[in-house]
Structure 1
């Protein structure tokens, strides 16, 4: 943002009065487009927030808490105390609420709830926490390249998820302290009849090809029908916006808002101008954009809202998948590119780790709100280590490791590759620019540049392992440190799979922690995992922000409360709780 553009925005007059425009419609401006709204395929926080607007789960995390739950489509939160969880922790019973309407007026049944979980297991390309559900419910931890046959998954799922009267019953393969959190984050309920009418899966073995197999991607739901407070009215891809309208038959009572519009506006100056003029009610913003926003009349800024995640992390791809539009340059160690296994060299990873100036990132980008990150476990969770696991910026150490990499050839020849950043993000390009400058200071032959792509493209290429290095965060439900350990370090964890990282030592430690029922023993496993990740420089935790993402809204937006485990919070929120006045 140029100073001239900033001055122009601040000089333009806002609404003359505090009366909201379109008082029954809330407009939220985000940075970039979503991936979709199919519950079996959403994985990022932004897409999850869209799904949470239309769909509901059996239980929800109570707003403002980390591990307290409240009923949704189940009338009770199962526990041993109320008799809905067996003594061995492997049988969970959820009484399904009666009289709940889907947004087409049909009534929710226990069979709809069962169908939703069966579909999630058999749907090819499932994202999010499906791998956790596979392990916890079905006892499966399949190799990605050799997934179980859809028919076998369906057979196992039908045995693990059953209906008894009005109850949905889960038979877990093993007890899991995170089961409720996984269901709350990833257990949205669909209508079986509606899915079949859309040409999607009908629940039969014969129809599995609709959601599983090489042709399944075309069947990804492009519309939505749930029991939530808002229904999907229109998805205008040309205008890059999604329109939700109120579900008047909602079982908790109709929302105060009649309509919610979520629109992708990558340019921050446009988002700020629309907010100032009252054409937007809430916008995506971080501390990077705070100077544009702070002091605008009629605008309220909530800061210091710490997200329960680990972000930013610098990820290395140990085996980049070559493609026609490769970001590896020449694809060789010749000074014009990098080979696919570039980051398999430990000295390369350590060189990058010591070259990254986390202190500068905290000062210049976070504007002092944070500190250098120590380990992969977020602050406040069991196993967090405040000090001792940082990579302190050190050009000499970086140079020493780079000189050893590839037998000295890297230092002589240099490298060149591209880092992808998503449209609308301010902190990602700023972080990559700091890294770029520091690498060039270590050796002028070390060159990286950036390429801006849509968020959906960024996630797609990361998932297909086509990005050599990228910056992203990791979020796990209810702050379970074991879920962070598995996602990042186990060979079949979702982030480790993207990195193509696999180490039998890490696998054994993760599995040992998961098998232990003793909290003290688990902490020992986690401590060893933290040290291993640091010693091997598997990835680089850059900083621990202290409220780097802001909640920015017009003062006429009422009812907002920060719920740290709502997907995409604090920029997003439960629209059912909001109104304008």
Structure 2
């Protein structure tokens, strides 16, 4: 990464809507329901994409996940461990309060104080050692070691109003929380909309779980006004019902239409679709925590089979990833060999998805002491990822062919994530979107040894640990030189995949469908953002 980054303010218009700001309503059908209106509560795509309508960050990302200005009109590396951000002047929260450096400091301090977060944003703040404000429109962050990913990580931290939260005037940053804060904002106060005050193009007017989320145009918005005066998000988690709502005219725009319905939608001249390869990996993960069998694993003679690399390799060899892509995903996916698609930074261009080899898989199981296999339960959400329940059923059938008697336990995403984070599963299917668009993100979250203080292994509840991989990741995170950093990340990825720390299945290809008269700029990060839905020219 160049030692000096300076983004011109003129580039800031890259993300905003163009076209007439007419009084129109856009109705959006969501495939997954956000768990909260609190922008710091849950590091999960449904929550993140929703918060961007109301809460902004210092930087944003373009459609290929490259950084662009947002609340910071420019930034630069002062030296290897110091970064300066210049805030955009004249930005106001929806209650009329002006944005200043105080709000940024308070927002960063709150991250480690969020109670009961299922997946914390602390992974994006832990590198910050100090934060000061030389003036109300300048933020200076320092890190204890070179941390070239700090700018892109700012795109994941929503800026909330310090004044609305009752923060003191003089805030002193501490990575464990600002000094002098008597009471930290509660998630419930965001869900009730009491503290749902942001600088974004919209403001919340309704947040009703299980029904709808409504945002209306923020008249105090600093940028060009969005085209839609009102946007109604309706969680329609049942795929067929979501398509039916679009075809019936009940919604204008939907995410994740079922693969099997795409030909019908595309054949109808009143509707259109757009798609893009995503950075989201669908993967299988193991519980390594105990020497005894983890939950849902039986007939192993009292051992945890997943601690044996041969068992994990056998599972991988049982999987026909191309068949899943062709038959379950209708070709709208890409078989995966690692956790991020090439050529994104830190990937291995020569990595190839493993081919099924049932005979070798059975031999490996026998060598590991399980000649007759064993029994497992595969846990999965059935309303979060594209065809997630069907993928799990296909995986179960494939594992059964090598003697692993597999049952599927499918559940809603909210139940799944809560139970997974309590380590209630021995084996599960999940997905991960790399919000920085480079390999350190999945390596840190999914593979690194869990260490909350360092923001490592934040979504590794199974406890996979590989000291050699950890060392590569830590070294990469201090490497300013792009080429050297990416080489370290690629090696860490190669090592973790050779150890079968988790099993990649495929990368999702995201699809959106909408009524004629609209266009959408598809995002690699899979986000559905109403500001990017435009009236067709």
Q: In which range does the TM-score fall when normalised by the shorter chain? A: 0.7 to 0.9
Distance 1:576 1:100, change over 3 A: farther
Residues 218/577 of structure 1: CA separation in 2 closer, same or farther (3 Å cut): closer
How far residue 47 of structure 1 moved from its aligned partner, in angstroms, is 0.6
Kept after mapping to 1: 8 A contact 2:146/2:478: no
2:515 maps to: 554
Give the structure 1 partner of residue 27 of structure 2.
27
Q: 1:579 offset after TM fit, Å?
A: 4.5
The SS at the match of 2:405 is: strand
1:454 to 389, 395, 412: 412
Show the 5 A alignment for 1:256-271: 256-271=227-242
Instruction: Report the counterpart of residue 497 of structure 1 in structure 2.
Output: 460
> 2 CA distance for matches of 1:290 and 1:59?
34
Taking the TM superposition and a 5 Å limit, the aligned residue runs for 1:56-95 are: 56-61=56-61, 63-70=62-69, 72-74=70-72, 76-79=73-76, 85-86=77-78, 88-95=79-86
Instruction: Please give the alpha-carbon distance, in whole angstroms, between the structure 2 residues aligned to 1:320 and 1:281.
Output: 49
Equivalent-residue separation in structure 1 for 2:533 and 2:434 (angstroms): 24
Q: 1:180 Cα shift?
A: 1.6
The 5 Å alignment of 1:228-307 reads: 228-237=200-209, 239-286=210-257, 287-303=259-275, 305-307=276-278
Q: Which residue of 2 aligns with 1:188?
A: 158
Q: Relative to structure 2, which stretch is displaced further, 287-296 or 256-265?
A: 287-296
Q: Secondary structure at the match of 2:461?
A: helix
1:319 counterpart = 2:289: yes
What corresponds to 1:7 in structure 2? none
| Contact 2:381–2:416 (CA under 8 A) maintained in structure 1 | yes
CA displacement 1:297-316 (0-9 Å, x = unmatched):
4110113x111x14122222
Per-residue CA deviation, residues 39-66 of structure 1 (Å, 9 max, x unaligned), is: 22230111101111101112222x3344
Query: How far, CA to CA, are the matches of 1:459 and 1:25 in structure 2?
Result: 33
TM-aligned CA distance change 1:289 to 1:166, over 3 Å = same
- Cα distance, 1:177 vs structure 2: 2.1
Question: 1:416 matched to which residue of 2?
Answer: 376
1:578 aligned partner: 534
**Structure 1 residues 506, 182: closer, same or farther in 2, change over 3 A?**
same
* Cα offset, 1:395, TM superposition: 0.8
Matched, 1:430 2:430: no
Counterpart CA distance in 2 for 1:23 and 1:99 is 25
CA 67–468 in structure 1, closer or farther in 2 if over 3 Å, else same: same
Instruction: Please tell me whether the aligned partners of residues 283 and 553 of structure 1 are also in contact (alpha carbons under 8 angstroms).
Output: yes
CA distance in 2, matches of 1:481, 1:549: 20
1:275 shift after superposition: 0.5
Are residues 173 and 125 of structure 1, via their aligned partners in 2, closer, same or farther at CA, if it must alter by over 3 Å?
farther
Question: Residues 169 and 525 (structure 1 numbering): CA distance in 2 closer, same or farther, change over 3 Å?
Answer: closer
- After TM superposition, give the deviation of residue 495 of structure 1 in Å: 5.4
Describe the shift of the 1:536–1:182 C-alpha distance in structure 2 as closer, same or farther (beyond 3 A).
Answer: same
Aligned pair partner of 1:96 in 56, 77, 87: 87
User: Which residue of 2 is the match for residue 333 of structure 1?
Assistant: 299
1:463 aligns with 2:421: yes
* 1:547-576 Cα deviation digits (max 9, x unpaired): x22121111324x222334xx33xx12426
Task: Give the conservation status (yes or no) of the 8 Å contact 2:191–2:207.
Answer: no
In the aligned structure 1, how far is the partner of 2:448 from the partner of 2:498?
16
Residue aligned with 1:301, SS: strand
Q: Is the 8 A contact 2:376 2:405 kept in 1?
A: yes
- Against the structure 1 CA distance between its residues 298 and 217, is the aligned structure 2 distance closer, same or farther, given a 3 Å change threshold? closer
Q: Mapping of 1:203-222 within 5 angstroms?
A: 205=179, 207=181, 210=184, 222=192
Distance in 2 (CA, whole Å) between partners of 1:320 and 1:231 is 47
Residue matched to 1:475: 433
Compare the two structures and name the one with the higher helix fraction.
1
SS in structure 2 of the partner of residue 98 of structure 1 = coil
User: SS of the residue aligned with 1:100?
Assistant: coil
Aligned counterparts of 1:561 and 1:343: Cα–Cα separation in 2: 42
String of CA shifts for 1:17-56, please: whole Å, max 9, x gaps.
Answer: xxxxx97111111123212122222301111011111011
Corresponding residue of 2:364: 401
Between the two proteins, the alignment pairs up a number of residues equal to 500
Residues 354, 392 of structure 1: 8 Å contact kept: yes
Instruction: State the partner residue of 1:441.
Output: 401
User: 1:296, 1:372 → 2: CA distance?
Assistant: 30
Question: Are the structure 2 counterparts of residues 208 and 435 from structure 1 closer, same or farther at C-alpha, using a change threshold of 3 Å?
Answer: farther
Check the 8 A contact 2:380/2:392 in 1, yes or no: no
Q: Which residue of 2 aligns with 1:508?
A: 471
Indicate the SS of the match to 1:78.
strand
Q: Deviations over 1:206-239 (max 9, x none)?
A: 645646xxxx7766754211011111101112x4
For structure 1, the residue ranges without an aligned partner over 5 or more in a row are 1-21, 80-84, 139-158
Determine helix, strand or coil for the equivalent of 2:408.
Answer: strand
Bigger Cα displacement from structure 2, 456-465 vs 270-279 = 456-465
| 1:45 equivalent in alignment to 2:15 | no
Q: Which residue matches 1:118?
A: 109
Quote the Cα distance in structure 2 between the aligned partners of 1:514 and 1:204: 25
State the TM-score, normalized to the length of structure 2: 0.84
Shift of 1:242: 0.8
2-side partners of 1:515 and 1:205: how far apart?
Answer: 28
Any idea what SS the aligned residue of 1:542 has? strand
Q: Secondary structure at the match of 1:450?
A: strand
- Measure the CA separation in 2 of the matches of 1:91 and 1:162: 13
Deviation at 1:379, TM superposition (A): 1.4
CA contact (8 A) 2:383 2:412 kept: yes
User: What secondary structure, in the 3-state scheme, does the structure 1 residue paired with 2:460 have?
Assistant: helix
Q: Is 1:390 matched with 2:353? A: yes
Mapped partners of 2:246, 2:376: distance in 1:
40
Q: Distance in 2 between matches of 1:243 and 1:340?
A: 51
The answer to whether the 8 A contact 1:318-1:499 is kept is yes
Unpaired runs of 5+ residues, structure 2, are 1-21, 451-455
1:253-296 Cα distance to aligned partner (Å, 9 max, x none) = 43221111111112222111110111111112253542453323
Within 2, Cα distance between the matches of 1:383 and 1:43?
A: 22
1:470 and 1:399 mapped to 2: Cα distance?
21
Q: 1:517 to 1:396 in 2, by over 3 A?
A: same
